[in-house]
């Protein structure tokens, strides 16, 4: 299917359709879907979304797994007659909506639905790069040439240019990285392939659509660019955020600033390649690129620390390294000026000029702005050193740039309430006047789930915790016969406990990092008795139904690392206002994260299993009540024999 669905469907009746027409016991869905199950919560959510769209109000809805929330917001969006942006947490969910849910709904409507999806530019093929690579040497090695041949053959038949169609292309494909449509080298309307460009076609489809499906990263990239009179998305009346608990972190990335050494290295490499291809390379240009590379390497080596660290000494740094900093800015500016003066190659040089000036602007902001509303920090990952500035509080930015400008925003997720209330999420996102709805859980958690907390394990912060936790995990996996996710709050602890257990377990073991995430999930689904050890990326967005996943073990309460620069800055901002950062920020954040991790277990009405939390602070310390009141009404035990009996029923 192309990225624009226009499939005629049968008539659904001449009278005006409403949400009730679809979601009641004898409505359109019950007559059209053989396995449809009437859910009062789904109807309540659909009616609330319809009212929000009609009355131009904002709405927050917590709707757990099994509610059917996707249809509950898609149907009223279609019926509204407005252009609605649907923003999802992942590209996988985008594809599910477009390729599964939209075609199903199309069969219920007489008129053709006008729906499209948009992804970031790196997901699409650049035809001009492909044709250039066919003529000029830019590929190296057997793997790259083999991947290039695969991409070239696919380009002749694809309608979208979306790399998700190339299932056999490795995630780490270096050939794709050289051929994708990122804007770094895009000549825009001056490109010879502009009319046939997959990005051009994506924008055309979106402009003709009533519903446009995007992901949070693309949405907030667009929102940040709109401040400079640019935009990616077409104008819209309403936006619906699925997996809305991720908004604060994603918005912080795009309302902030980032500049790194790899950006400059890529600028140098691309400038050198294009100058040779377009015949404007000169010894002077080559020398300027060498000089820029040397200054950049010398400058970024001044930030030697591995990991993420707050940076506060801008004045002292500039006083000591002012000369090198100014040299780096000068060489970047000189490159931009030199490229602007190149004759006859404007399509190729303009993107390079924009990139050089963007690096200068970001570097100046990070080093000189002194904007107290941001936290400044450094992060070294492998060869990359990144200087980042993140807004401490995104609530005012979201209110001013989004919620005060769009007539309706609907935020939904299975994890939005803390201790039964929406106060935390409303305060963090600047949505204090929104309507709220909490849809009751659709599953019988007290019957389907046993929640186990071992009472005698040491505090997770103590050094002896890892060995004793490994013993407890071994006993749990013996009872569950594998079939488990073991989720960790840190990669270090995950690897430590995995290494302790690997020689002691007979179950097939899967470890995050040893294969791509999707490959690990598929291997888990298809391997009897498998156990998957995972960290952050497996806490959400993973759906394994049935007895294959019968146990979820969490090592500790998922508090964010207090020394993380963004977490520390946000906590300090709360304290400066007289608040209690631990109770107002850190506990609610951890409670939502725990709900996400536990949410991996029950994905269907027939699922059953054990949730094990190896951190008994949840029952020993007073703040544990917040966590317990935030979770569904699980059957609770501190006895391993209850777990063993549960699995032997």
Q: What gap in Å lies between CA 219 and CA 9, rounded to an integer? A: 30
300 and 386 both lie in a single domain:
yes
Nearest to 188 by CA among 275, 121, 134: 121
Edge to edge, the sheet with strand 307-310 lists: 257-260, 384-391, 374-381, 307-310
Asked if 326 and 435 sit in the same domain, the reply is: no
Q: How confident is the model at residue 5 (pLDDT cuts 50, 70, 90)?
A: very low
Q: Residue 375: how many CB atoms within 10 A of its CB?
A: 24
Smallest CA-to-CA distance from 277 within 178, 141, 133 is with 133
Nearest by Cα to 243 from 5, 412, 457, 468: 412
**What is the model's pLDDT at position 305?**
84
Q: Say whether both 326 and 424 belong to one domain.
A: no
What confidence tens digit (pLDDT) does each residue in 47-69 have?
A: 999 999 999 999 999 998 888 99
* DSSP E strand boundaries for 216-278: 238-242, 257-260
Asked if the structure places residue 98 within a domain, the reply is: yes
Summarize pLDDT for 616-635 with one digit per residue, the tens.
999 999 999 999 999 999 99
Task: State percent of the chain over pLDDT 70.
Answer: 97
For the stretch 488-498, pLDDT in tens is 999 999 999 99
Average pLDDT of span 477-483:
96
Taking the C-alpha atoms of residue 185 and residue 278, their distance in angstroms, rounded to an integer, is 13
Would you say the pTM of this structure is higher than 0.95? no
Inform me whether the pLDDT recorded for 15 exceeds 80. no
Helix axes 314-340, 261-277, angle to 10 degrees: 10
- pLDDT of 635 reads 94
CATH number of the domain within which 40 lies: 3.40.50
What pLDDT shows up at residue 219?
A: 97
Q: Are residues 405 and 375 in the same domain?
A: no
In this model, does residue 14 exceed pLDDT 90?
A: no
E strands in 447-491: 449-452, 484-487
Residue 313 lies in a domain: yes
Q: What whole-number distance in Å separates Cα of residue 302 and Cα of residue 359?
A: 18
Neighbours of 502 (CB within 10 A): 11
Q: For residue 634, give the nearest of 606, 604, 599, 591 by alpha carbon.
A: 599
pLDDT of residue 13 exceeding 60, the answer is no
Residue environment code for 26-64, b if the CB has 16+ CB neighbours within 10 A, otherwise e: ebbbeeeeeebeebebbbbbbbbbbebbeeebbbbbbbb
The answer to whether 585 and 574 have CB atoms below 8 angstroms apart is yes
Establish if 234 belongs to a structural domain. Answer: no
pLDDT class of 649 with cuts at 50, 70, 90: low
Same domain, 376 and 482: no
Query: Domain end: 374, 391, 408, which one?
Result: 391
Task: Please give the pLDDT value at position 345.
Answer: 67
Yes or no: say if 69 and 75 are a contact pair by the CB < 8 Å rule: no
Total number of domains constituting the chain: 3
Return d(Cα 571, Cα 576) in angstroms, integer. 9
Look at residue 261 and tell me if it is in a domain: yes
Give 588's pLDDT tier (boundaries 50, 70, 90): very high
CA atoms of 289 and 296, how far apart (whole Å): 10
pLDDT for residue 4 is more than 60: no
Domain at 468, CATH number: 3.40.50.300
- Cβ-contact 614, 553 below 8 angstroms: yes
Residue 243 covered by a domain: no
Q: How far apart are CA 419 and CA 640, in angstroms?
A: 27
| pLDDT, tens only, 383-406 | 999 999 999 999 999 999 999 999
Structural domain range at position 27: 4-119+396-439
Q: Are residues 279 and 407 in the same domain?
A: no
Q: What is the mean pLDDT of residues 245-268?
A: 95
User: What's the mean pLDDT when you consider all of the chain?
Assistant: 91
Report if residue 518 sits inside a domain. yes
Class of residue 562 by CB neighbours under 10 A (exposed 0-12, middle 13-18, buried 19+): exposed
Same domain, 495 and 640: yes
Residue 2: the pLDDT is 38
pLDDT at 455 over 60: yes
Judge whether residue 349 has pLDDT over 90.
no
- Compute the distance between CA of residue 591 and CA of residue 88 in angstroms, rounded to an integer: 22
Q: Specify whether 454 is located in the same domain as 426.
A: no
- Give the tens place of pLDDT for each residue, 395-450: 999 999 999 999 999 999 999 999 999 999 999 999 988 999 999 888 889 999 99
Task: Kindly state whether residues 331 and 404 are assigned to the same domain.
Answer: no
Domain co-membership, 523 together with 595: yes
- Asked if the structure places residue 625 within a domain, the reply is yes
pLDDT for res 425: 96
470 and 588 part of one domain = yes
Residue 199 lies in a domain: no
Q: Is the model's pLDDT at 117 over the cut of 60?
A: yes
pLDDT in tens, 507-550: 999 999 888 888 899 999 999 999 999 998 888 878 888 999 99
Residue that is last in its domain, among 439, 472, 495? 439
pLDDT tier for residue 370 given thresholds of 50, 70 and 90: very high
Q: State whether 381 and 507 are in the same domain.
A: no
SS3 helix, strand, coil % of the chain, rounded to 5? 50, 15, 35
Edge-to-edge strand list for the sheet holding 635-637: 509-511, 531-534, 484-487, 551-554, 609-613, 449-452, 635-637
pLDDT, residue 12, reads 41
Instruction: Show the DSSP H helices in 399-464 as ranges.
Output: 423-429, 445-448
One-letter-per-residue 3-state SS of 482-544:
CCEEEECCCHHHHHHHHHHHCCCCCCCEEECCCCCHHHHHHHHHHCCCCEEEECHHHCCCCCC
Mean pLDDT of 353-366: 96
Domain boundary among 391, 409, 426: 391
Q: Is pLDDT of 6 > 60?
A: no
Question: pLDDT for 158-213, tens place per residue?
Answer: 999 999 899 888 878 888 988 999 877 787 888 889 999 999 999 999 999 999 99
CATH of the domain at 307: 1.10.275.40
């Amino acid at each position: 299917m192309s990225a624009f669905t226009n499939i005629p469907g049968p008539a659904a009746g001449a009278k005006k359709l409403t949400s009730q027409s679809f979601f009641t016991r004898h409505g359109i869905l019950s007559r059209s879907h053989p396995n449809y199950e009437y859910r009062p919560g789904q109807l309540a959510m659909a009616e609330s979304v319809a009212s929000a769209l009609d009355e131009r109000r904002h709405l927050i809805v917590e709707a757990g797994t099994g509610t059917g929330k996707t249809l509950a917001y898609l149907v009223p969006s279609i019926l509204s007659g407005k252009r609605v942006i649907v923003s999802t947490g992942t590209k996988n969910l985008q594809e599910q909506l477009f390729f599964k849910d939209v075609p199903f709904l199309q069969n219920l409507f007489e008129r053709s639905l006008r729906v499209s999806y948009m992804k970031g530019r790196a997901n699409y093929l650049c035809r001009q790069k492909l044709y250039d690579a066919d003529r000029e040497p830019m590929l190296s090695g057997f793997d790259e040439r083999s991947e290039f041949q695969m991409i070239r053959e696919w380009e002749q038949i694809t309608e979208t240019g979306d790399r998700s169609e190339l299932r056999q292309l490795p995630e780490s494909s270096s050939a794709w990285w050289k051929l994708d449509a990122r804007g770094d080298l895009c000549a825009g309307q001056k490109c010879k392939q502009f009319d046939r460009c997959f990005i051009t076609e994506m924008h055309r489809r979106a402009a003709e659509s009533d519903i446009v499906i995007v992901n949070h990263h693309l949405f907030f990239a667009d929102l940040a660019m709109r401040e400079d009179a640019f935009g990616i998305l077409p104008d819209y009346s309403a936006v619906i955020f699925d997996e809305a608990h991720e908004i604060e972190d994603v918005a912080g990335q795009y309302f902030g600033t980032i500049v790194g050494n790899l950006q400059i290295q890529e600028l140098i490499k691309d400038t050198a390649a294009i100058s040779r291809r377009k015949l404007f390379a000169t010894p002077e240009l080559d020398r300027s690129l060498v000089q820029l590379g040397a200054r950049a390497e010398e400058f970024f080596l001044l930030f030697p620390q591995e990991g993420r660290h707050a940076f506060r000494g801008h004045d002292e740094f500039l006083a000591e390294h002012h000369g090198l900093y100014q040299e780096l800015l000068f060489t970047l500016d000189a490159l931009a000026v030199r490229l602007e003066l190149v004759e006859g190659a404007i399509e190729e040089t303009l993107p390079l000029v924009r990139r050089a000036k963007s690096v200068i602007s970001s570097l100046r902001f990070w080093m000189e702005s002194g904007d107290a509303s941001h936290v400044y920090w450094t992060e070294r990952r492998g060869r990359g050193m990144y200087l980042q500035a993140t807004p401490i509080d995104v609530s005012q930015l979201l209110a001013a740039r989004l919620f005060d400008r769009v007539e309706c925003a609907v935020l939904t997720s299975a994890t939005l309430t803390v201790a039964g209330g929406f106060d935390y999420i409303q305060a963090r996102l600047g949505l204090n006047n929104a309507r709220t709805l909490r849809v009751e859980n659709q599953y019988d958690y007290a019957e389907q789930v046993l929640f186990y907390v071992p009472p005698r394990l040491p505090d997770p912060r103590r050094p002896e915790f890892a060995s004793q936790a490994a013993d407890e995990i071994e006993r749990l996996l013996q009872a569950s016969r594998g079939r488990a996710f073991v989720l960790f709050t840190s990669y270090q602890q995950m690897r430590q406990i995995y290494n302790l257990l690997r020689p002691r377990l007979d179950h097939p073991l899967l470890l995050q990092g040893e294969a791509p995430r999707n490959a690990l999930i598929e291997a888990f689904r298809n391997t009897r008795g498998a156990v998957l050890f995972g960290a952050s990326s497996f806490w959400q967005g993973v759906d394994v139904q049935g007895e294959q996943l019968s146990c979820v073990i969490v090592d500790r309460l998922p508090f964010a690392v207090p020394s993380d620069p963004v977490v520390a800055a946000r906590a300090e901002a709360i304290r400066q206002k007289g608040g209690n950062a631990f109770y107002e920020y850190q506990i609610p954040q951890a409670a939502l994260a725990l709900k996400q991790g536990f949410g991996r277990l029950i994905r269907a009405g027939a699922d059953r299993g054990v949730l094990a939390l190896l951190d008994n602070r949840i029952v020993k310390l007073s703040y544990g009540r917040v966590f317990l009141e935030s979770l569904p009404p699980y059957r609770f035990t501190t006895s391993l024999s209850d777990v063993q009996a549960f699995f032997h029923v």
